[in-house]
């Protein structure tokens, strides 16, 4: 059940960057990558990360709640989910480890 919830959150989180209007995005070329920042209507940062030339998420990606608190810290390798991701929701922090674009470990912790 936890994996299903996490997968739903991941799908929603990673799709936000493609749903925003251009006025709420800033995309800057940085070497072979593009640095992407997506903003809420009030100017607060919603998401920040990098995309490759094929518009796939690459390297670090962070999502924030409207109040500025972290929602997710993630790592992509040309669109594939890799490494250790962290999610914050209410009083919980969830660690999700990916290998080969698949979840291999989930650990939920209380936030102190």
Query: What does the pLDDT look like over 34-89, one tens digit per residue?
Result: 999 999 999 999 999 999 999 999 999 999 999 999 999 999 999 999 999 999 99
Q: Does the pLDDT of residue 102 top 60, yes or no?
A: yes
Confidence of residue 23 (pLDDT cuts 50, 70, 90): confident
Cβ-Cβ contacts under 8 Å for 17 (sequence gap 6 or more): 25, 36, 38, 47, 49, 57
Domain harbouring 35, CATH code: 2.20.110
Residue 37, CA distances (Å) to 40, 58, 61 in order: 10, 14, 10
Confidence of residue 107 (pLDDT cuts 50, 70, 90): very high
pLDDT tens digits, residue range 79-92? 999 999 999 999 99
In this prediction the pTM is 0.77
CB atoms within 10 A of CB 96: 24
Give the count of domains, the chain. Answer: 1
The domain of 32 spans 2-110
């Amino acid at each position: 059940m936890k994996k299903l919830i996490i997968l739903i959150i991941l799908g929603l989180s990673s799709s936000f960057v493609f749903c925003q209007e251009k006025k709420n995005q800033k995309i800057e070329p940085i070497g072979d990558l593009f640095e992407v920042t997506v903003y809420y209507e009030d100017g607060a940062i919603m998401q920040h990360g990098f995309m490759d030339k094929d518009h796939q998420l690459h390297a670090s990606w962070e999502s924030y709640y409207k109040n500025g608190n972290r929602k997710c810290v993630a790592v992509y390798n040309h669109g594939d989910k890799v490494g250790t991701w962290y999610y914050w929701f209410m009083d919980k922090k969830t660690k999700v480890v990916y290998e080969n674009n698949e979840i291999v470990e989930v650990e939920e912790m209380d936030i102190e």
